[in-house]
Structure 1
């Protein structure tokens, strides 16, 4: 309660609504102006009361978001960082927003997991095919086109292909950008699957969680809580 919460990649701000209902002041940034506009319509009261502020734009735009620098107690990136090309840059940028004692929550699906290519976004039967996103780039794109995926769907899926975020890569980036791991939890079944598919969340076995690469293949979601490294 009484914290300033920033979500990057907030969409329509459904996550921020929950934080707002618990007495926090919330800020959301998303590249999609249409999603931000939908969020503003859904959260008219909260926005009028200045309990939620939503912005369409690139979080790297310092002039636009400088007023938030040094003001944030909790930053949320849920299913967002795997869409960002320069992940090291965004992790470094987060320091500017924090109060110095802030925490950051991040969640993403490791690239090597059965559906790490975001196949669920496909319009064809490919959405049900595990691991096909691990094909070589040209073959992957060609298969998407052959199966009738639209150019928009192909571009989104190729965006994920280019970023390819693994657990080990992410943890190396945390060290490079001066973040400290506070807590992590790997999931065999992504908590998000309960709403989408009726599959209850299941945590990954600790034995699997401790084996690099193997954990990437069999963890459909990873949750991290990090804070700034002590000097």
Structure 2
């Protein structure tokens, strides 16, 4: 496992810096303004929400992992920022319905099995004219299987490993001494993976129009992680279905409920 996945304070700081420099400006540029209320589903420690809170936005983060929510409260308190964080399944929080002009779903959709239903059900939390910002790694990109969460140094840095057939992939993980829980999580991601074509299809099925799409050859988050300058995917490659998945380390989308 890469060190940043163990040191959650460091992970929080890195997420906050990337959100400050890339996620927030992207959303603001697409919308023309910055919404005053923001919900993040699968917020983890809340790093993505910090720049929004620092600009006076009302921020709400929801995550099923209670420990992550505890850390979000602690990290926001250290920064002297306000934020509401709840450990829950988002769909149990009906009191939040209709409140948000902006919802963030960052590195979450690739973990969801019923993607169309998930996105469809998210619509009830949007306020009139609200949008959803979704970001995810294309499945076929070098680390689209999230193998960086593996504890083995070789496995966690081995590109394209997740594209192997399930039996071979599982055997390699076991032989490398990965814990049962880690293996199950990695195999689960392989099952629920998300390609660009799949996402565009389920977004339409769920009743959304795609307001904007931006594919990255070099993920903006790699700047803080690896010192690499973000680079958008070449337009020619970005226009080629399936092939583009191998080159898209991060996919940004803004969705709005489609007009009837």
Which TM-score band (shorter chain)?
Answer: over 0.9
Q: Say whether the 8 Å CA contact 2:73–2:83 is kept in structure 1.
A: no
Cα-Cα RMSD: 1.6
Aligned residues: 226
- Paired position in structure 2 for 1:54: 85
**1:95 paired to 2:133:** no
Decide whether aligned partners of structure 1 residues 77 and 2 sit closer, same or farther in structure 2, where only a CA change above 3 A counts.
closer
Aligned to 1:82: 110
Residues 2 and 23, structure 1, Cα contact 8 Å, conserved in 2:
no
CA offsets 1:83-138 (integer angstroms, 9 cap, x no match): 11221121011110011200110000011111111121122202222212111112
Which of 22, 29, 32 aligns to 2:55? It is 22
Q: Is the 8 A contact 2:45 2:72 kept in 1?
A: yes
Question: Does 1:143 find its partner at 2:172?
Answer: yes
Cα distance in structure 1, aligned partners of 2:211 and 2:35: 22
- Asked whether the 8 Å contact 2:210–2:255 carries over to 1, the reply is yes
* Partners of 1:134 and 1:186 in 2: CA distance: 20
CA contact (8 A) 2:216 2:249 kept: yes
Q: Measure the CA separation in 1 of the matches of 2:116 and 2:144.
A: 20
The within-5 A match list for 1:1-231 is: 1=34, 3-44=36-77, 51-61=82-92, 65-124=93-152, 125-231=154-260
Q: Say if 1:11 and 1:32, in contact at 8 Å, map to a contact too.
A: yes
Deviations 1:46-83 (A, max 9, x none): 89x8x42100011122xxx1111011110001111111
5+ long unaligned stretches in structure 1: none
Contact 1:46 1:52 in 2 (8 A): no
- Unpaired stretches in structure 2, ≥5 consecutive residues: 1-33
| TM-score, with length taken from structure 2 | 0.83
Deviation at 1:45, TM superposition (A): 7.7
TM-score (norm 1): 0.93
Distance (Å, rounded) in 1 between the aligned partners of 2:175 and 2:78: 47
- State how far apart, in whole Å, the 2-side matches of 1:2 and 1:116 are: 30
The question of whether the paired residues in 1 share the 8 Å contact of 2:35 and 2:101 is answered with: no
